[in-house]
Amino acid sequence: MTTEVTETPTAADGPMAVGATAGRRRPTKALVPRSDLPNGPDHGLLAHIVVQDVRPSAPHGYPAKAVVGELIPVVAAIFKDGHDVLAAQAVLRKGTDVVATSALVHLGNDVWSGAVTATEMGGHELIVEAWTDRYATWAHKATVKLAAHQDVEVELAEAQDLLSEWAPGAGAGTGAETSADSPIAHALVALSDEGAHDADRINPALSAAVAHALAGPRLARDLTTAGPVPIWVDRPRAAAGAWYELFPRSFGGLRGAAAQIPRLAQLGFDVLYIPPVHPIGHSFRKGKNNTLTAGPGDPGSPWAIGSEDGGHLAIDPGLGTFEDFDNLVRTATDHGMEVALDIAFQCSPDHPWVKEHPEWFHHRPDGSIAYAENPPKKYQDIYPLNFWPFDEGDRLALWQACEKIFVFWAERGIRIFRVDNPHTKPFAFWEWVLAAVRSEWPDAVFLAEAFTRPKVMARLAEVGFSQSYTYFTWRLGQYGPEGLRAYVEELAHGPLADYMRPNFWPNTPDILSGPLRGGPPSAFALRYVLAATLAPSYGVYSGYELFENEPASPDNEEYLNSEKYEIKHRDLSRPGSLSPLFAAINESRKRHPAFASLRSVRFHGSDNPSIMAYSKRSDDGDDIVLVVVTLDPYAIQESVLHIDLDALGLAPDCLMDVKDELSGETYTWGAHPYVRLDPYLRVAHVFAVNAQARGRA
């Protein structure tokens, strides 16, 4: 990534002016020669100090993502010619207000690192400042010469100039720097004592107190800034949460769904996600198992939106009323949960828009409206919208109508939207509409249901989606343990980590994959543990806890007797379900802030590829969790693990106490413990690591 770099002649000029908080960075531009720069008009077109590859950032100038209260890691490559010592800091701004600053530390190979924290939602800007540290450069040279017993007359004179230069500006601060008993005043007195030994004259100026007083860019003559890099700061729910999906009609409607909330809250879920609640069309309504002919009692697909009862701003009468919807939202709030509503920009043939705005749809050569297709799949009950008609007025009208849908439901208390198939709509539309909604509701969260190509998923994240469905569902089955590990590391540590947040779902109403197809309860248990402990955000679709495992056929991932086309009756409280595991994992997630971190995930060695081990740490390093999972749902697996204690912040030969959050058992482990997992009894250990065990064994 290239960021705009500007060099200023003095620190008094301050940080560079920046553009709007939201939107893209200004294009990179060369510096024009300026007569007031230190080297005069021949200064040249490039800054003296190079600041590049600033992260976090999105590759095409859209905002990177962060959440309130989290540490935002800042990394940049910073270097210049010669041997001068450099210094750098990160500055986070919201508008013209400086929110946070952080000194950057040189990690080696010209890579600098630090972290800042935002305290409120909304658009921010990150600027990286770098400069020649004149004091540190002088101190290094003086220290080396003193140690070599060389003449330091030049260094004594330089120190007097440097410290005197600081003193006149002290009045802008506290004034303590030049008080009679200040370290700088003491150092200046010592420097001027020509009768003293060189070491006695110079050592007070080399003190830690003087170094601290002179830290920062105030004395810089070549302050160079990179940025601004836009960052959008969300509320924490945009990054972490446990989701549960159910169809209200299978529970008697919206009132029945509300009655499930106390149970789901007790299981520790944060978000209740429901499919579209709108009226369902009659024309070409699908029957059970996606048949083309619906029977008299078949309810149709909730994604075939619109009938004589209304469209996207209406509620299906079979589900209830707006009063029932408001009760659902209120009940969720009362139990510490939120409702996520599915937004699907498509229509049944009976949607009011079909008659009122036929220009908003795709048409066949014969003039008829085209239904949706994803060959070989056909969706005769759905008309896709044409988001890019030839007429710009039609386009604007359609986009505004879609924006109104978000606004309508936001006004009814919805702040989380799961968006259906966003990859089939223009990126420009999403950039526009998501920004428009956030301008009124900055706490809005958008989950992209985009099971599509990686670059498309990434672009949707760039233009504004808070979270995205992922390939988690397939990575283990198709690519094995290394495939899953590589994918998680890509999401956690690669460039995607700056702007794409994953939401791991082991199943959805559309997807029954891998070992879940006909698989035993242990397959569901281990997949659940992986999803809920690897990703800060995860979700399950109702019926998962009952091990529903029948595929529609050997060749596709649809469920047999899919709830998309019929009403299901389940006893979700029956004994033997996964509900106790749900409760235990979610309770552990709430107890341990480490689970809310994605960037901290680290994988550990295992002699057996069928056993996976990984850890997470909280931002402050005090909370550590270690998860060990079997990947074999059928057979007992054993392994010796190789724990990277340094990744846990522990000494190399430390013994640590680990407590299993699922069983309550406690062990004392070193770096190479033995584990044995029986999938019919225990698919995983979820350990809390004693953060006090930091000493050596």
Q: What share of the chain is helix, strand, coil (3-state, %, to 5)?
A: 35, 25, 40
Task: Enter the pTM of the model.
Answer: 0.90
Residue type for 166, please?
A: W
pLDDT-derived band at 3, boundaries 50, 70, 90: low
Give pLDDT tens digits for 68-102: 999 999 999 999 999 999 999 999 999 999 999 99
Report whether 121 contacts 21 (CB < 8 A): no
Same domain for 318 and 415? yes
What pairs with residue 190 in β-bridges? Answer: none
- The per-residue pLDDT for 377 is 78
Mean pLDDT of 538-562: 95
- The per-residue pLDDT for 527 is 97
Same domain for 50 and 118? yes
User: Count of domains in the chain?
Assistant: 4
Residue 73 lies in a domain: yes
As a whole number, the mean pLDDT across the chain is 91
Give pLDDT tens digits for 269-328: 999 999 999 999 999 999 999 999 999 999 999 999 999 999 999 999 999 999 999 999
Mean pLDDT of 433-459: 97
What gap in Å lies between CA 129 and CA 113, rounded to an integer? 12
Same domain for 428 and 531? yes
Known active-site residue 449: yes
Mean pLDDT of 618-629: 95
- The per-residue pLDDT for 178 is 54
User: Pick from 177, 203, 233: which residue ends a domain?
Assistant: 233
Give pLDDT tens digits for 182-239: 899 999 999 999 999 999 999 999 999 999 999 999 889 999 999 999 999 999 999 9
Known active-site residue 587: no
- The per-residue pLDDT for 477 is 66
Report long-range pairs for 149-155 (Cβ below 8 Å, ≥24 apart).
152/198, 152/202, 155/202
What gap in Å lies between CA 208 and CA 275, rounded to an integer? 62
pLDDT-derived band at 480, boundaries 50, 70, 90: confident
Mean pLDDT of 508-537: 96
User: Pick from 545, 564, 591: which residue ends a domain?
Assistant: 591
What gap in Å lies between CA 16 and CA 446, rounded to an integer? 33
Residue 41 lies in a domain: yes
Same domain for 83 and 175? no
Catalytic residue (one of 70, 133, 420, 566): 420
Q: Is the pLDDT of residue 331 over 80?
A: yes
Same domain for 255 and 106? no
Q: Which residues contact 236 (CB under 8 A, 6 or more apart)?
A: 67, 68, 69, 70, 596
Same domain for 471 and 562? yes
Same domain for 114 and 164? no
Radius of gyration of the chain, Cα coordinates, nearest whole angstrom: 30
Residue 128's SS3 state is strand
Residue 185 lies in a domain: yes
Which has the minimum average pLDDT: 39-43, 117-121, 303-307, 394-398? Answer: 39-43
Range ranked top by mean pLDDT from 7-16, 47-56, 497-506, 554-563:
497-506
Q: Is the pLDDT of residue 63 over 70?
A: yes
Cα dihedral: 472, 474, 478, 480 (round 10): 30
Report whether 403 contacts 433 (CB < 8 A): yes
Question: What's phi and psi for 375, nearest 5 deg?
Answer: -45, 135
Domain of 425, CATH number, reads: 3.20.20.80
- The per-residue pLDDT for 172 is 34
Mean pLDDT of 401-428: 98
Report whether 682 contacts 629 (CB < 8 A): no
Same domain for 568 and 630? no
Q: Is the pLDDT of residue 693 over 90?
A: no
Residue 239 lies in a domain: no
**Tokens, residue 501:** 């947040």
Same domain for 83 and 111? yes
> How does 241-250 read in b/e, with b if 16+ C-beta sit within 10 Å?
bbbbbbbbbb
- The per-residue pLDDT for 48 is 84
Could you tell me where the DSSP H helices lie in 366-505?
A: 392-410, 427-440, 454-463, 472-493
Residue 289 lies in a domain: no
- The per-residue pLDDT for 173 is 39
Residue 149 lies in a domain: no
Quick one: which of 582, 567, 571 has its CA closest to 247? Answer: 567
Residue 275's SS3 state is coil
What gap in Å lies between CA 423 and CA 183, rounded to an integer? 62
- The per-residue pLDDT for 314 is 98
Report in angstroms the alpha-carbon separations of 287 from 224, 381, 382, 561, 604.
65, 11, 14, 10, 49
pLDDT-derived band at 388, boundaries 50, 70, 90: very high
Residue 557 lies in a domain: yes
Residue-number span of the structural domain to which 507 is assigned: 250-277+310-344+399-591
Catalytic residue (one of 234, 381, 449, 557): 449
Same domain for 64 and 93? yes
Same domain for 84 and 176? no
Q: Is the pLDDT of residue 576 over 80?
A: yes
- The per-residue pLDDT for 403 is 98
pLDDT-derived band at 168, boundaries 50, 70, 90: low
Query: What is 396-426 written as a DSSP string?
Result: HHHHHHHHHHHHHHHTTT--EEEEE-GGGS-
pLDDT-derived band at 616, boundaries 50, 70, 90: very high
**Tokens, residue 256:** 């029945």
Residue 76 lies in a domain: yes
Burial degree of 648 (CB within 10 A; 0-12, 13-18, 19+): buried
What gap in Å lies between CA 611 and CA 601, rounded to an integer? 16
Three-state SS letters, 227-252: EEEEEEEECHHHCCEEEEECCHHHHC
Question: What's phi and psi for 552, nearest 5 deg?
Answer: -65, -30
What gap in Å lies between CA 486 and CA 471, rounded to an integer? 12
- The per-residue pLDDT for 218 is 87
What gap in Å lies between CA 675 and CA 655, rounded to an integer? 16
- The per-residue pLDDT for 312 is 98
Question: What's phi and psi for 108, nearest 5 deg?
Answer: 110, 155
Q: What DSSP state is assigned to residue 279?
A: -
Domain of 645, CATH number, reads: 2.60.40.1180
**Tokens, residue 107:** 């990690």
Same domain for 428 and 465? yes
